[in-house]
A and B are shown apart, each in its own frame.
Chain A
Amino acid sequence: MSNPTPNTATPDSRTALANDPVELPPAGQVYLARSRVEIVEFFRQKEALVFTLLFPSMLLLIFGAVLNFEIAPGLDFVQYFMAGMVASGVLASGFQNLAITVAIERTEGRLKRLSGTPMPKSAYFVGKMVQVVVVGVATIALLLLVGVVVYGVDLPATAARWATFAWVTLLGLAACSLLGIAFSSAIKNGKSAPAIVTPIALLLQFTSGVFFVFTDLPAWMQNFAAIFPLKWLTQGMRASFLPEFAAQEGAGSFELGKVALVLGAWTIVGMVLCVLVFRWRDRADG
């Protein structure tokens, strides 16, 4: 076989030409395959399981036991904290989860590999979105279970409040996951991703009405938090978990229209940022 002239190839590879139309699989098939893989990978990763899925419930367990005071007559802080932790679960499943894993996948060259295959680029993002919804639902379900069983937290009482809970959750997941994917591009080395992303999430949690009653915070802190999605997520969650608290909110109501507007705006910003800054290759890689 080692002669200088063109080698003998099998007949079919010889007659098959580059400009013959090569079929591609239906996009739906690829979306399904990517979604499956993203879900399987998440649930096999111990770090992700602990930090994304279990951590909010662990915080609820600990802080619920420590911060057992009333924020209004007959209203336990844990009910307020529950709304905040559900919002934090949304942030964790969308923003923290994706900012960290996408950065790692980029550093490890897994994104580069994917971009060398005929996989439609959209399939990667569809897979991540499906993962985020599954992880978000699991995280929140666990939180609700712990809240109800351990602290007797009241679940949303009416269908309308469940509907509020649902749209705030979904819009929040959309905004947080797009922002997470976009933010991953700012992380130079995937190994340092958890150390960069976790403090950001903590900072938002402390200033957005998760660990403290939002209206108790200094005005400048409230103004800072109002820029970011988490403050609006917690507010939307309070509308479904403690509707009787409406009068004590800063604006005298839960401002659900504004919640939708801000979360929707962040979703669009996240989408635009993803288009502008998403990279399939690590910066260190040429």
Chain B
Amino acid sequence: MPTETPPVAQPAKTSAGSPPASVDVAISVRGLRKSYGDNEAVAGVDLDIFRGEIFALLGPNGAGKTVTVEILEGYRRRDAGDVSVLGVDPAKADAHWKSQIGIVLQSQGGDSELTVAETVRVQAAYFANPRPVEEVIALVGLTQKLKAKASSLSGGQQRRLDVALGIVGRPRLLFLDEPTTGFDPEARRQFWELIRQLRELGTTMLLTTHYLDEAEALADRVGVIAAGSIVEIGVPAELGGRHLAPARVRWVEDGQHREETTATPTAVVQALSQRLGGEIPELAVQRPSLEDIYLQMIGEPA
């Protein structure tokens, strides 16, 4: 029997006041708060994101997604709460920490005069052990655009370039803030495919989006945020208890619209059919779509 033990992962160092970060947790957030004047943008967020997972923070515009993520990225200071990202408080982050994370910001990068290859190459120079430039560009599907000016790219291509910049330093954690806003459906599908490829590389990803289908297509888990608070965290298929949600049966009886919410719609329809003598006028049976559930969660009229 070999006495040598495999390298055991040591728990990450915790700074004073941070929650203990286990090796399996990439991001840990407790009681995060941030106000701008009277507006409480983040009103007590708790969150754990595990290594290797894709976590989507889903919410409408102004829900506090970007503020939360920018606190985790080290861009903004928090008012209260404990935050640990890769075992470090981002408010005290240094270059060593920054070289382990990749950031794809919400805004575009402006009109650079550099080519795609030059843009990635200079970003690679900030890291000791970057991915090869051509390899990263191939990964995001921009090999044909190697020598094109970054400012000449389409919106979708520019976002791919942003991702290339985000991953060239081999980050352990990648932030993607509303990466597909403004995309046409085709560009969106292609971008999703890229994210799925990155998952295969084992990159942990925190993605914000206001597109329900995007969270559903990409994320292992989804956190729904509304008015600065997490409303629910779950796997997409079970979000809002959708798989258990009651159905709504609607029909017309005595010239009036009726409706009943039930867990057993078949039984209700059978009973109705007997009572009304066969055909039920204007019968409809509806299950809430994920969108209905989501809109309900974020407090919008469905």
**Which residues of A are interface residues toward B (Cβ below 8 A)?**
1-4, 6-10, 12-19, 21-25, 29-30, 32-34, 36-37, 40-41, 44-45, 104-105, 108-110, 112-113, 115-120, 281, 286
Chain A minimum-CB-distance residue to B216? A2
Q: Which of B54-104 contact A (CB under 8 A)?
A: 54, 67, 70, 73-76, 86-88, 95-100, 103
When distances are taken between beta carbons in the complex, the residues of chain A under 8 Å from B121 are: 33
Number of chain B residues whose Cβ lies closer than 8 Å to a Cβ of chain A: 63
Contact A24 B70 (CB under 8 A): no
When distances are taken between beta carbons in the complex, the residues of chain B under 8 Å from A109 are: 105, 107-110
**Closest CB of chain B to A263's CB: distance in Å?**
31
Does B232 touch A at the CB level, under 8 Å?
A: no
Inter-chain pairs besides A34-B125, A118-B99, 4 sampled, C-beta below 8 Å: A9-B52, A18-B12, A116-B103, A118-B96
Contact B220 A1 (CB under 8 A): yes
Chain A minimum-CB-distance residue to B173? A18
Chain B minimum-CB-distance residue to A286? B76
When distances are taken between beta carbons in the complex, the residues of chain A under 8 Å from B73 are: 116
Pick the contact of B122 from A9, A16, A33, A44 — CB < 8 Å?
Answer: A33
Contact B99 A108 (CB under 8 A): no
**Which residues of B are interface residues toward A (Cβ below 8 A)?**
7, 9-10, 12-13, 21, 23-24, 36, 50-54, 67, 70, 73-76, 86-88, 95-100, 103, 105, 107-114, 118, 121-123, 125-129, 165, 169, 172, 199, 201-204, 219-221, 234-237
Of all A-B residue pairs in the complex, the 9 with the closest CB atoms, nearest first, are A108-B110, A9-B52, A10-B202, A18-B86, A33-B125, A6-B50, A18-B87, A23-B128, A44-B113
Chain B minimum-CB-distance residue to A32? B125
When distances are taken between beta carbons in the complex, the residues of chain B under 8 Å from A112 are: 75, 105, 107
Contact A15 B9 (CB under 8 A): yes
**Closest CB of chain B to A140's CB: distance in Å?**
23
Contact B86 A7 (CB under 8 A): no
Contact A24 B96 (CB under 8 A): yes
When distances are taken between beta carbons in the complex, the residues of chain B under 8 Å from A281 are: 75
Which of A2, A3, A4 has the most B CB atoms < 10 Å from its CB? A2
Which of A7, A16, A23 has the most B CB atoms < 10 Å from its CB? A7
Contact A18 B128 (CB under 8 A): no
11 A-B contacts (beta carbon < 8 Å): A2-B237, A6-B24, A8-B52, A14-B51, A25-B126, A30-B126, A33-B121, A40-B114, A113-B105, A119-B95, A281-B75
**Closest CB of chain B to A217's CB: distance in Å?**
40
**Closest CB of chain B to A142's CB: distance in Å?**
21
When distances are taken between beta carbons in the complex, the residues of chain B under 8 Å from A21 are: 96
**Closest CB of chain A to B208's CB: distance in Å?**
15
Contact B100 A41 (CB under 8 A): no
Which of A37, A45, A108 has the most B CB atoms < 10 Å from its CB? A37
Contact B113 A41 (CB under 8 A): yes
**Closest CB of chain B to A184's CB: distance in Å?**
15
**Closest CB of chain B to A54's CB: distance in Å?**
17
Tell me the bound Cα distance from A23 to B24 in angstroms: 22
Contact B51 A117 (CB under 8 A): no
